[in-house]
Amino acid sequence: MSYHPEELLLQAYVEGTLDDVAAFTVAIHLESCPICKRKVTMLENQCGDKLANAQTDTSIDDFDAMFDSIVALEQNSEPFRAPRKAKPIIVNNKTFMLPRALSRFSSDIGEWRSYGGKVYSAPINIAEDCRVNLMYIAEDVRIPQHTHKGMESTLVLHGGFSDEDGHYEAGDYLVKDASIKHSPFTKPGEDCLCLTVLTEPMVFTQGVARLFNMFGKGMYP
């Protein structure tokens, strides 16, 4: 794994200022990335220190009152929540286990759509202002060159793919902005499942391939 969320993104994640979708994308990356996990722990500690050192006017009486009100709360009769289990998804007759952070949204995953049996996508209906999709690319497939309007973040969940800039493997997190043209591809024997978050439709810049023709000028993978 060699592509990670930027430091600023991790900082925002720790401070809780990221939007929900970006936050859960980062959370999924953290599940498989000890490097960023370490960074987040460090940032959390810094954040905690800042909080601890911040001047407050809370007196001990306030604390007692707070404690009293906590113990006065009705006891929660709900059983402890079972730890989130990884859930499977099936695409192109293959079964993949979803990361735990994603598994809790498994009931929000829509129908898989096949693009010529080579690219498959399923929306995850969790956000209004951006498109969240699972995308599966079968082996040995090249997606026509395109640019993005807006931003696209991609998190590789299984397998890998390449584009003009490099090769990406499970756990890699990349963000492309509108100015970057790229044509992702998988090699023979390599397929790829990823999570994509798009703020605007993609626009193909290179003679739109037949495979994608029917979807007009923009498509969500």
What is the pattern of x (binds Zn ion, CB under 5 A) and - over residues 1-30? ---x--------------------------
* Residue number with CB closer to Zn ion (115 or 161): 161
Shortest Cβ 73–Zn ion spacing (Å): 38
> Across 35-93, where does the E strand assignment appear?
88-91
Q: Which is nearer to Zn ion, 139 or 169 (CB)?
A: 169
* Residue number with CB closer to Zn ion (135 or 155): 155
**For residues 4 and 148, which CB has a smaller minimum distance to Zn ion in the complex?**
4
Angle 25-33-180 from CA coordinates, rounded to 5°:
55
- Give whichever of 36 and 109 is closer to Zn ion, judged by the CB atom: 36
CB of 36 to Zn ion, least distance (A): 3
Angle between helices 34-53 and 7-15 (to 10 degrees): 50
In a 13 Å sphere around the CA of 123, the CA atoms on its Cβ side amount to 10
Tokens of 11: 């900082």
Query: C-beta of 30: minimal distance to Zn ion in Å?
Result: 7
Residues near 187 by Cβ (< 8 Å), separated by ≥ 6?
Answer: 139, 140, 162
Residue 44 CB, shortest distance to Zn ion, in Å, is 15
Rounded to 10 degrees, the C-alpha dihedral 13/168/183/215 comes to -60
The separation between the first and the last C-alpha atoms of the chain, rounded to the nearest angstrom, is 23
Q: Which is nearer to Zn ion, 4 or 146 (CB)?
A: 4
Output the CA torsion sign for 107, 112, 118, 119.
negative
Cβ of 203: how many Cβ atoms within 10 Å? 14
Nearest distance from residue 117's CB to Zn ion, in Å?
A: 33
Task: Kindly determine how many residues on this chain lie close enough to bind Zn ion according to the rule CB under 5 A.
Answer: 4
Compose the 29-58 pattern: x for residues touching Zn ion by CB under 5 A, - for all others. Answer: ----x-xx----------------------
Question: Smallest distance from the beta carbon of 3 to Zn ion, in angstroms?
Answer: 8
Binding to Zn ion (CB under 5 A) within 84-143 occurs at none
Q: Using CB under 5 A, list all residues that contact Zn ion.
A: 4, 33, 35-36
